[in-house]
Structure 1
Amino acid sequence: MTEYNFDRLQGETKFRHLVRLSVDKLNGLHKTDWLDIKEMFDFQHSGESLRKYAAGWKLLLENEEIEQLNSEEEITYKETTEILSDGSHKSDKLIRMNAEQSKDINYILEAHGFNKESWELVNAKNNIWNVYSKQDGVQSLYSSKITVKPKVSGFDVDKFLEKAKQEIIPVHIIEKVTEGIGLLEVPLFDLHFGVNTYESYIPVRDKTLSKIHSKKWDKIFFIIGQDLLHNNGFDGKTSSGTLIEKVDMDKAWDDAFTFYCDLINAAQNNSNSVECSYSIANHDDSMSWSLVKCLEIKFPDIKFDTSKKVRKSFVWNDVFIGYSHGHKGSSRLHENFLSDFGKQMAVAEVVEIHTGHIHTETAKDKFGVLVRTLSTKGKTDDWHDDNGFVGAHKRFQLFEYSPSSLDAIYYI
């Protein structure tokens, strides 16, 4: 037998509490002595009198002649829903569930009206809200408040990379270069493949290849990512689930992969060493990261950094290059990089910080730290058009360094 609840319930008066315990005693739901019930409520008659009163109360309840006891229809609870600016939703509802169900994420999502296949639970708070009604007796209800966000369509990265290792044919260095000089930085930010194509970027590829082949380099450094792809899946959404213009992601992936294979293969045969670093952005964090992992499989002789840190750095001789997409903390880039990489920046002769995101070229020298926002040659997508990021020069930049100076910027 379930343990009987002697406590006074939410919304239950002292008299109704007495009536419930007395009638339940007659119905055999508990075995408490009548004298104990009398003392519990300071009932001003004998235990036998209480038993007789209980018989009358039972009759009244059975014939529905007593006033309605806090019926289910009288349960008042202000249910609310709220849509936040980041696309997440808040819901506050009174839900009938037990203790186990209150721990079941899928049950809670569906109870609030959210499809578990489309929504992800961010947080939840459930407070018990027991009430008593004539029809159902004690009800286990919960005041349930949740925040959810749309699921970002993705795929099993581990399985994908395992298959990639089987399918991708590695390309090795043909002839090792040992006497190269200078550093070439290749930061092609905001390529947005999908809106742009391999064919439209052939002039960019050819000019970059021309610079790679212009001499033997000590180091060629690629920053890859930075909104390399326009969507983060196949449903026209960004990394945060924001709905934007949908593009052909099969072609976008193939175009981006082929584009960088052309450049990296040329670089590894024309420099002492090549390094590639993934730079996370707001459009395509999962898809572009996976693409860079595939490039890592394709070029096993090259060093890759595929970590997902928002702010990263690269050091070559007395040159420090910091880089971040610029979609987070853009107003404090100088301070944030000093906090993260202050020691490396302090000893460098050249300190550059390169960002993208707004598709517009800017440069600000702040106490010897050159913070640049790099432009793009990509087409203007809907978001940048709507937000007024239009009319900028359509071009990419390549940077050539000697061990202690920035020697040239090439516009392509």
Structure 2
Amino acid sequence: MGYTKWTDEHKNRVTELGKQGLSSSKIAQKLFDEFGVNLSRRTVSRYLSTGHTSSRYDKLKKNTSKVKDVKRGTEIVINKDGSTTSSTTMQMTSEQAKDPEFVLRAHGFNPDDWDIVSARNNFWQQNSQENGLIVIEMIGDMLHSDKINSTETVSGTILEDVDMPKAIDEAMQFTEAIVVTALENANTVMIKSVGGNHDFDISYMFMIWIKERFKQAQVDVNNRYRTAYLLGHVLISIQHGNVNKKNPAQILANECRHLWGIATTTEIHSGHLHFDKTEDQNGVVFRQFSTPKPSDDWETMNGFVGANKLMYALEYNDDRLKVEHFI
């Protein structure tokens, strides 16, 4: 491959054309037209950004150069061959990740001047406090019965009679109030859910209604017994609490290995037993939440009337719980 020796005239002309706003590829074409020299777009781009004409200048440096933009969360590494490696955290869809121009611009590069040699994207369900994320967890048994005209659990246990049409209507009003408020006060709203032992089937249909009703929110409709998401570097798993009792932390580590490796704090959230309990088991925080429902006749008969009837809003920073609000 031939080698073109840069002259001062070439350098001055490249600098002049660069100040005029021409792209590297257009400047390379201009130099060929004017001087008959065949310079690559990448070589022109390197000269404009570094003042050097050859990638070999980097060999004079002991280490590669790094530039960090702390506020944006970006690290740019200038490699010895003149190429650049950029790492950053951004919001994008899977379709945008396939668009080279979008990826280049997201990293602060002009697509006319740069080519992507390779790219790797890791998709995390995460956001930060300053970006305004509110996550709503629905951990089962919002609806007392799994049937409409009789009051039974999923397994067929007969319960105290409840007016299910009225209960569903009130559940819709309650959900509407919470989600609308969240959408008004956050840039992004995620709704994560699992079914309970009372309402597993009917809650699945209820989540379909939520997804259709609130298209601005990111609604997770699933028929799983547990699910997990990443909030910054906090891994949170939700499950109703009636199953997977033996070693939920180990199951979480096996099922969500990538998220487990990223997280600095891990929590498991559950309900089911209707009373508060928080404990740390080998670094995994278990939060069992109470329920705000009034005591029914069965609970009163058996003396289960002393638990706090609360809802909770937990505020996290990037790596741990910051504030616990009682509602």
Q: Normalising by the residue count of structure 1, what TM-score does the alignment of the two structures yield?
A: 0.46
Structure 1 counterpart of 2:219, from 304, 310, 325: 304
Question: Structure 2: any 5+ residue segments left out of the alignment?
Answer: 1-126
How has the CA–CA distance of structure 1 residues 395 and 217 changed in structure 2, closer, same or farther, with 3 Å as cutoff? farther
Secondary structure (helix, strand or coil) at the match of 1:330 reads coil
Residue identity matched to 1:249: M
Aligned-partner Cα distance in 1 for 2:247–2:301: 25
Cross-structure match for 2:155: 240
Secondary structure (helix, strand or coil) at the match of 1:262 reads helix
Asked whether the equivalents of residues 323 and 355 of structure 1 are also in contact (C-alpha less than 8 Å), the reply is yes
Q: Which runs of 4+ in 1 moved over 4 A?
A: 382-388
TM-superposed deviation, 1:349: 1.9
Structure 1 counterpart of 2:209, from 294, 299, 312: 294
Greater RCO between the two (CA within 8 Å, min separation 6)? 1
TM-superposed deviation, 1:220: 0.8
Aligned-partner Cα distance in 2 for 1:411–1:269: 21
Aligned-partner Cα distance in 1 for 2:302–2:253: 30
**RMSD of aligned alpha carbons:** 1.9
Structure 2 counterpart of 1:218, from 129, 132, 138: 132
Cross-structure match for 1:167: none
Aligned-partner Cα distance in 2 for 1:331–1:383: 27
Aligned-partner Cα distance in 2 for 1:361–1:407: 18
TM-superposed deviation, 1:355: 0.5
Aligned-partner Cα distance in 1 for 2:302–2:254: 31
Residue identity matched to 2:318: P
1:391 aligns with 2:309: no
TM-superposed deviation, 1:387: 5.6
Residue identity matched to 1:268: L
Asked whether the equivalents of residues 358 and 384 of structure 1 are also in contact (C-alpha less than 8 Å), the reply is no
Structure 2 counterpart of 1:365, from 261, 267, 280: 280
Asked whether the equivalents of residues 220 and 271 of structure 1 are also in contact (C-alpha less than 8 Å), the reply is yes
Asked whether the equivalents of residues 311 and 337 of structure 1 are also in contact (C-alpha less than 8 Å), the reply is no
Residue identity matched to 1:406: L
TM-superposed deviation, 1:277: 1.8
Asked whether the equivalents of residues 128 and 231 of structure 2 are also in contact (C-alpha less than 8 Å), the reply is no
Cross-structure match for 1:321: 236
1:263 aligns with 2:181: no
Cross-structure match for 2:260: 345
Cα deviations across residues 118-166 of structure 1 (Å, max 9, x unaligned)?
A: xxxxxxxxxxxxxxxxxxxxxxxxxxxxxxxxxxxxxxxxxxxxxxxxx
Aligned-partner Cα distance in 2 for 1:389–1:337: 31
Cross-structure match for 2:141: 227
Residue identity matched to 1:313: A
Asked whether the equivalents of residues 315 and 324 of structure 2 are also in contact (C-alpha less than 8 Å), the reply is yes
Structure with higher Rg: it is 1
Structure 2 counterpart of 1:283, from 177, 198, 207: 198
TM-superposed deviation, 1:235: 0.6
Identity of aligned residues (%): 29
TM-superposed deviation, 1:403: 1.5
TM-superposed deviation, 1:345: 2.2
Secondary structure (helix, strand or coil) at the match of 2:248 reads helix
1:409 aligns with 2:319: no
Asked whether the equivalents of residues 365 and 371 of structure 1 are also in contact (C-alpha less than 8 Å), the reply is yes
Secondary structure (helix, strand or coil) at the match of 2:211 reads helix
Structure with greater proportional strand content: 1
Asked whether the equivalents of residues 139 and 239 of structure 2 are also in contact (C-alpha less than 8 Å), the reply is no
Asked whether the equivalents of residues 220 and 274 of structure 1 are also in contact (C-alpha less than 8 Å), the reply is yes
TM-superposed deviation, 1:225: 4.8
Aligned-partner Cα distance in 2 for 1:331–1:389: 24
What does 1:19-168 correspond to in 2, within 5 Å? none
